A and B are shown apart, each in its own frame.
Chain A
Amino acid sequence: MPAPRRGKLAYKLLFWFLLLSMGPMLFVGWHLVRGSQRALRRATLEMQESLAVGFADTASKYVATFRNALAETSSVADFASMNPVRQRQYLDRLLQIHPAVLELSVLDARGVETLRAGRFLGPKPEMRDFGRDDLFEVALGPKGRYVGRLERFQGLYPTVAVSVPILDQSAQPSRPVGVLMARVSLNPLSTMLATEFPLSGPSSAAVVARADGFLIAHSDPKEIYRPDARLPDEVLKALSAQSADHGGGDLPVLSDGRRLLAAYAQTRDLGWLVYIQQPVEVAYQASEEMTSQIVKVLIGVVLLVTALSWVVAGRITQPVRLLKEAADRLGQGRFEDVPELVATNDEIGDLAHTFLDMSESLKEKTGELVSAKQELEKFTKFLEKRVDARTRELKAAQDELIKKERLAAIGQMASVVGHEIRNPLAVINNSIYFIKTKLAAGGEPDSKLSKHVKIIESEIQQANGIINEILTYSRTRELKPERVRVNAWLEELLALYPFPPHVQLEKRLDPADPAVDVDVTEMQQAVRNLLGNAVEVMPPPEGGRLVVRVAVPEPGWARIDVADSGAGIPPEALDKIFSPFFTTKARGTGLGLAVVRKAMDRHKGRVDVESRPGAGTTFRLWLPRAA
């Protein structure tokens, strides 16, 4: 019977190990990733915000630099009272010191240009009137300065106008007598953005813009020169909703649905915005890297734990597997094959110990069973043999009994018949004797009468002969064995036997001349019967050849063969010829060969026959040799 498919213990252990160790680890790992991701993102956002705030500061400082430079020049003690040539010298020096300053103008108290110096001006530039301009009025106001009027210089890059009042130092208190104005390039801001904010990726940008979207600076300086350079409206819209002066967060602003991490800050006094955006995946790259790192570590740990669990499960289950294997072998009766069990110092060790005890006991018991079985088989065989032998003996005894009973019955019958027939036969004999005597007394008797008397006498003799034969066969006289030498005994018998002349006798005696113990009378009768039969089957005129042979065919046995050259016995009759009253002759009792067999039986010998129809018959009498 095949064992039902079962899960292996090692797999089960492995599963539970993994569940117990991996579960908490994955839980903790997930939270760790989540937490650190959040922290990192917050940090990233804060960093971006602080960048924005820092740059807002930078932008303010940038503008402040020029304002201060202008204020320094305008507040030179006698600037207001200087003639234009000297004023011009100051202006030229400013232009030299600050490359970003594109143009400088001196406005009088009415706001009309009195002096104009610049890098791209012709020798006689047009004098403009700023009398109604913020540029002039604000600078003269209580604030004392003006920054604004953003415009693209010659349509190219953004510039800003900065103006400060020119004060008459001689008056007490001093009073403004004009304005010093400068147009400053904002390109350096873009350069600064590009260096301070080296952004990567197409959607990354750091931008300085006015609240209405006018682009002041861009981390990608090329953007500035684009004619339609503006802060995108959606960004503007998002920023206008912010109330704080700085902040940031995720903005779903990209057309392709990607999210941006954005931060903004307002400059302190200029009303400008610094805006920084980065795609989320770039901004959070560190967090993603950390996540992937943690996942890698986790996978590594999982693999390691799996491997360790595998080894541990294997170690735990190995003794169990060995036990199972041992139990399997034990079950198959292979006691010699039982594998070595590891004696571990635990319950499995105990189990192994118990198992070994059990297997020993089982082996012993099986051995006992096997030997008992063998014993039983031996005994059964012995009994069978005994039964067979006994059955054979019984059968032989039964056969013998049947034969004896039959013989006894025949004997009894023969005795009765013999006795009862002999009486009338005796009477007939007496009477015919009487008649014969009377006839003889009465002179010459009738010859026919004498012949018939003789016939009767002859028939009486024949009847008496038959009765004698039957009585001889049925009689059980005691054997009187004497030791004879077969050669001499047989020669004497043959010499006395009246062989007819047409039968040619051939004697073949054996030089060993065996000795046998026989009842001479009975054995002579047996041989005579065979000789008589042989002579009978070789009738004149052809006659035949009769061979009488003595042989010592095998140790312990002597044999007398009587072979004729007669017609032979038909095969179907062969097994009946030794039965009493069986005969093939026209006249005969059928007792001749029965007498032979009875004699041989009584002498512990046997008789057998070999006959070939047309070639002759050989009877062989086997007699045990005398010791």
Chain B
Amino acid sequence: MTPLPKLLVIDDDAHLRESLAEVLELGGFECHQAGNAKDGLAAAQKLSPDAVIMDIQLPDSSGFQICQELRRRSKTMILIMMTGRFLSSEEKTQGFELGADEYITKPFDLAELSTRIRQLLSRNAAR
């Protein structure tokens, strides 16, 4: 059996990250969690996830900085930014330039999210 796609959720809100991880696990993903940027980067180093879903605001760092670091390490890793507020198009553009692939706004449409991740993963695989 092929291994499940590996996801890493980085958010300081334990409930959010757990609920999201478990929902995604139901959707057929292998989910890992991290509560801050440092742990998140370490976990990403260790696990090499296929996709990382991170909040743009973390207690110890900006989500964009992690995004930039992760993109520096891997060109293919799927990076999805979570936000609770509106982002201006400048902010979004800046995020895309730093390597973000997608933005999702809380509360999420989970079915849509799952589908989107799979689509991005399959595109990567095709390359």
Residues of A within 8 A of B (CB): 415, 418-420, 422-431, 433-434, 437-438, 441, 460, 464, 471-472, 475, 477-478
Contacts and interface: CB of A to CB of B under 8 A. Distances in A.
A437 B19 CA distance: 13
A475 B86 CA distance: 8
B107 A428 contact: yes
B23 A437 contact: yes
B123 interface: no
5 contacts: A419-B85, A424-B15, A430-B16, A434-B23, A438-B26
Contact of B19 (A422, A434, A471, A475): A434
Given A423-B16, A430-B20, A434-B26, A415 B108 contact: no
Chain A CB within 10 Å, residue with most, of B13, B85, B105? B85
B88 A430 contact: no
A427 B26 contact: no
Given A430-B19, A471-B85, A422 B110 contact: no
Contacts of A430: 16, 19-20, 22-23, 107-108, 110
Interface string B79-107: 00000111010000000000000000111
Chain A CB within 10 Å, residue with most, of B16, B84, B86, B107? B107
- Nearest 7 A-B pairs (CB), nearest first? A430-B19, A429-B107, A426-B106, A419-B84, A426-B107, A422-B84, A422-B106
Contact of A477 (B20, B88, B105): B88
A415 B110 CA distance: 24
A131 B56 CA distance: 204
Interface residues of B, number: 19
Contact of B23 (A425, A433, A460): A433
Given A434-B23, A437-B26, A438-B26, A426 B16 contact: yes
A431 B24 CA distance: 11
A300 B85 CA distance: 125
Contacts of B108: 426, 429-430
B20 A423 contact: no
A601 B86 CA distance: 22
Given A415-B85, A422-B107, A471-B86, A427 B13 contact: yes
A425 B85 contact: no
Interface in B41-99: 84-86, 88
Nearest to A477: B88
B106 A423 contact: yes
A427 B19 contact: yes
Nearest to A440: B26
A514 B54 CA distance: 48
B69 to A, nearest CB: 24
A471 B110 CA distance: 22
Interface string B108-123: 1011000000000000
A233 B72 CA distance: 182
Nearest to B82: A426
Contacts of B27: 437
